[in-house]
Amino acid sequence: MKFFLDTANVEDIKNANDMGVICGVTTNPSLIAKEGRDFNEVIAEIASIVDGPISGEVKATTTDAEGMIAEGREIAKIHKNMVVKIPMTAEGLKATKVLSAEGIKVNVTLIFTAAQALLAARAGAAYVSPFLGRLDDISTPGVELIETIAEIFEVQGIETEIISASVRNPIHVIDCARAGADIATVPFGVIMQMTKHPLTDQGIEKFQADYKAVFGEQ
């Protein structure tokens, strides 16, 4: 399973990219709004940092296929690595069909059922984004959705990649990997949580103390 960073914050993206653990980025209208910056400017900056797929979503207020297609074409022009994120609606599927046929990669987002994932794949989506955490939030096991989609795509020979989205903690990450997700898109805070273990910190402290006791600070 690969990792994308789920943010529009360029400092966090630089940091995670320097660690060598991410190979793409996903954004959404909420994440862009949080940064308070121009969409095209921030997306172009992200694309200059990470050499991999960058998902930029059509405006939240654009709900018709024609509008999404027009915006999707503009997003695709920003950089060769751009992926157009389209919400899972009937209009979104129409836009996915047209953009995919033009060779523009589409990430169909806000997936909450396997049926939605199957439709998105058949419309031509390069990626589907099932939202794990938001299902958990309503007491529905999100990981079961990832497992089901992974099983269906395997059985049906579907090449659309599964991006586990709405990932909230390291346990989610491990669950997604076990369930067969191709990618987990994770917030920077979760990447940092994944780096840590108290025994690692204690081990470093002990190595430092033992070394300094003999060699001093050199």
Q: How far is the CB of 27 from ligand E4P (least distance, A)?
A: 8
The Cα–Cα gap between 170 and 177 comes to 11
The Cα–Cα gap between 182 and 150 comes to 9
Question: According to CB under 6 A, which residues from 17 to 76 bind ligand E4P?
Answer: 26, 28
- Strand-pair category, 127-130 with 25-26: unpaired
Q: How far is the CB of 165 from ligand E4P (least distance, A)?
A: 4
For 202, the token pair is 């204690």
- How many CA atoms does the CB half-sphere of 1 hold within 13 Å? 21
Binding mask 86-125 for ligand E4P (x = CB under 6 A): -----------------------x----------------
Q: Which of 116, 112, 161, 119 is nearest to 133 (CA)?
A: 112
Of 82, 131, 135, 184, which lies in the binding site for ligand E4P, with binding defined by CB under 6 A?
131
| DSSP letter assigned to residue 58 | P
Of 7, 129, 135, 179, which lies in the binding site for ligand E4P, with binding defined by CB under 6 A?
129
State the catalytic residue, choosing from 59, 77, 85, 206. 85
- Strand-pair category, 183-186 with 82-87: unpaired
Could you report how far apart the first and last alpha carbons of the chain are, in Å?
41
- Strand-pair category, 183-186 with 106-111: unpaired
The answer to the question of residue 166 lying near ligand E4P (CB under 6 A) is yes
On whether the CB atoms of residues 43 and 75 are closer than 8 A, the answer is yes
Piece of 12-20, 40-48, 130-138, 197-205 that binds ligand E4P (CB under 6 A): 130-138
Q: How far is the CB of 138 from ligand E4P (least distance, A)?
A: 12
The Cα–Cα gap between 133 and 142 comes to 6
Shortest Cβ contact with ligand E4P: which residue? 166
| 77 Cβ contact list (under 8 Å, min separation 6) | none
Q: How far is the CB of 207 from ligand E4P (least distance, A)?
A: 37
Of 134, 136, 144, 188, which lies in the binding site for ligand E4P, with binding defined by CB under 6 A?
134
- Whether 85 sits among the annotated catalytic residues: the reply is yes
Question: According to CB under 6 A, which residues from 172 to 191 bind ligand E4P?
Answer: 185
Q: How far is the CB of 135 from ligand E4P (least distance, A)?
A: 10
Footprint on this chain of ligand E4P (rule: CB under 6 A): 6, 26, 28, 109, 129, 131, 133-134, 165-166, 185
Which residues carry out catalysis? 85
